Amino acid sequence: MKIFKIIRFSCKKMAVGFRSMKTAVVTGAAGFLGSHLTDRLLKEGYRVIGVDNFLTGNPANLDHLQKDDRFDFKQQDVTEYLNIPGEVSVVFHFASPASPIDYLELPIQTLKVGSLGTHRALGLAKAKKARFLIASTSEIYGDPLVHPQTEEYWGNVNTIGPRGVYDEAKRFAEAMTMAYHRHHGVDTKIVRIFNTYGPRMRLKDGRVVPAFVSQALENQPITIFGDGSQTRSFCFVSDLIDGIYKLSESVYHDPFNIGNPVELTIKEFAERIVRITQSKSTIEYHPLPTDDPKQRRPNISKAKEKLGWEPKIDLETGLVQAIAYFKERLSQKGVGKTIL
Ligand code: NAD
Ligand code: UDP
């Protein structure tokens, strides 16, 4: 793996050359979504300050920005006080373990970044009179009893179950965000992200897309948890980022579901990966993790109507791009590189 050179946080650079540019702060910038969001913001004319402590992120996700003067990086835990000099027009709080195996392994950090980290990021937005957008999740609906999930549904979460550390941290984060909006007048936005996939996911992060694709590419058994009848709806990363960008520029403060409503069972998903990769993999059944939601599909009527957003990339097209990325990552095995 290439060693990521941390760009020194330069107050001088900010004071001189970039006064006219809008500045965005992205927490979790070295992660899968944070790095794609950073790319989009740079494309839209923002200067971006990324903040990340590499807990679950990969420095290589930012390698391509090392020479970009409009990007600065601060290696920091966002549960600690965030000191960002200069003007900031928007704060995106994306830092948090996001894969079930990550947050089951890092329960306290997950709770802390969703609560204390959200408080820090909101405090920064308030101090800078900046807009604020929190990456919430479909997990706030828990094992949903309403299907598909609309933003009005309050959810069905087991607070004390192993997944509760993530779900409840995000529910707290939404409550804290609305409190900063109502009490302090901060211009806040909440996006409830449904399962998203694409390049820059870690091969070994345990989420179903990298898990099944890497198993298929290596002709290893596909590990289905449970009987595979549980459903998910997968959104390609560029569609998701487009929805998030549109929401960030909008006038709304209440939550928006952003995701792709095409739903399939995990068994159907496994079969599709095997077919696209022309793999010889067989299917192997493993116990279903505790509180694994039985169904998940976003109702995106609100995003369609109010943001004029809907996904454009169908699953087959998105998977071909994601598979090409994972293939490339796997080909780096055995040439002395660490595979994350
Ligand atoms: P990721 O693990 O790839 O990225 C998260 C980033 O946050 C990592 O780079 C990690 O190092 C960083 N981070 C974690 N704790 C931190 C801390 N205390 N201080 C600083 N940095 C910290 O995950 P992702 O898939 O990119 O998810 C990004 C956000 O989107 C998360 O908030 C997640 O809950 C949310 N989300 C993602 C999905 C999805 O399908 N990818 C779905 C729902 C919600
Ligand atoms: N899953 C699976 N095999 C794996 C990884 C995940 O069957 O190797 C299942 C998991 O139990 C869940 C679905 O795939 O039902 C999606 O899991 P993921 O971890 O991607 O995200 P979740 O939607 O559960 O947050």
Task: Flag whether pLDDT at 258 surpasses 60.
Answer: yes
What is the pLDDT at residue 92? Answer: 99
Does ligand 2 come within 6 angstroms of the Cβ of 195? yes
Q: What is the DSSP letter of 281?
A: -
Name the pLDDT band for 205 (thresholds 50, 70, 90).
confident
Name the pLDDT band for 337 (thresholds 50, 70, 90).
very low
Does 125 map to a domain? yes
Name the pLDDT band for 2 (thresholds 50, 70, 90).
very low
CA torsion 52-53-54-59 (nearest 10°) is 50
Does 277 map to a domain? no
Per the structure, the complete domain to which residue 106 belongs is given by 17-200+236-261+298-312
Cβ-based burial of 278 (10 A; exposed 0-12, middle 13-18, buried ≥19): exposed
What is the pLDDT at residue 21? Answer: 86
Cβ-based burial of 160 (10 A; exposed 0-12, middle 13-18, buried ≥19): exposed
Question: If you measure from the C-alpha of residue 308 to the centroid of ligand 2, how many angstroms do you get, rounded to a whole number?
Answer: 30
Residue 325 designated active-site: no
Closest ligand to Cα 62:
1
Q: Rounded CA gap, 4 and 75, in Å?
A: 11
Does ligand 2 come within 6 angstroms of the Cβ of 100? yes
Name the pLDDT band for 3 (thresholds 50, 70, 90).
very low
Shortest-distance atom of ligand 2 to CA 99: 19
Name the pLDDT band for 332 (thresholds 50, 70, 90).
confident
Whole-number percent of the chain with pLDDT over 70: 92
Q: Over the stretch 10-36, which tens digit does the pLDDT of each residue have?
A: 444 444 455 578 999 999 999 999 999
| Ligand 1 proximal residues by C-beta, below 6 Å | 27-28, 30-34, 52-57, 77-79, 94-98, 113, 117, 135, 137, 193, 195-196
What is the pLDDT at residue 18? Answer: 59
Longest dimension (CA), the chain: 59
Task: Flag whether pLDDT at 129 surpasses 80.
Answer: yes
Q: Dihedrals φ, ψ of 277, to 5°? A: -85, -5
Looking at the DSSP bridge assignments, the partners of residue 27 are 51, 93
Does 70 map to a domain? yes
Question: If you measure from the C-alpha of residue 117 to the centroid of ligand 2, how many angstroms do you get, rounded to a whole number?
Answer: 26
Task: Flag whether pLDDT at 146 surpasses 90.
Answer: yes
* Total domains in the fold of the chain: 1
Does 22 map to a domain? yes
Q: What is the mean pLDDT of residues 292-312?
A: 98
Residues 139 and 170: beta-carbon distance below 8 Å: yes
Q: What is the CATH number of the domain that holds 156?
A: 3.40.50.720
Residues 231 and 295: beta-carbon distance below 8 Å: yes
Q: Over the stretch 152-191, which tens digit does the pLDDT of each residue have?
A: 999 999 999 999 999 999 999 999 999 999 999 999 999 9
Q: What is the mean pLDDT of residues 241-248?
A: 98
Average model confidence (pLDDT) across the chain: 93
Closest ligand to Cα 118:
1
What is the pLDDT at residue 8? Answer: 47
Does 290 map to a domain? no
Name the token pair of 312: 């454009």
Does 159 map to a domain? yes
Task: Flag whether pLDDT at 6 surpasses 60.
Answer: no
Shortest-distance atom of ligand 2 to CA 215: 8
Task: Flag whether pLDDT at 286 surpasses 60.
Answer: yes
CA torsion 94-24-50-108 (nearest 10°) is -30
Q: What is the mean pLDDT of residues 55-64?
A: 96
Does 46 map to a domain? yes
Q: Rounded CA gap, 201 and 228, in Å?
A: 22
Does 211 map to a domain? no
Q: What is the mean pLDDT of residues 249-261?
A: 98
Q: Which residue has the higher pLDDT, 230 or 340?
A: 230
Whole-number percent of the chain with pLDDT over 90: 90
pTM of the model: 0.95
What is the pLDDT at residue 336? Answer: 43
Q: What is the mean pLDDT of residues 291-310?
A: 98
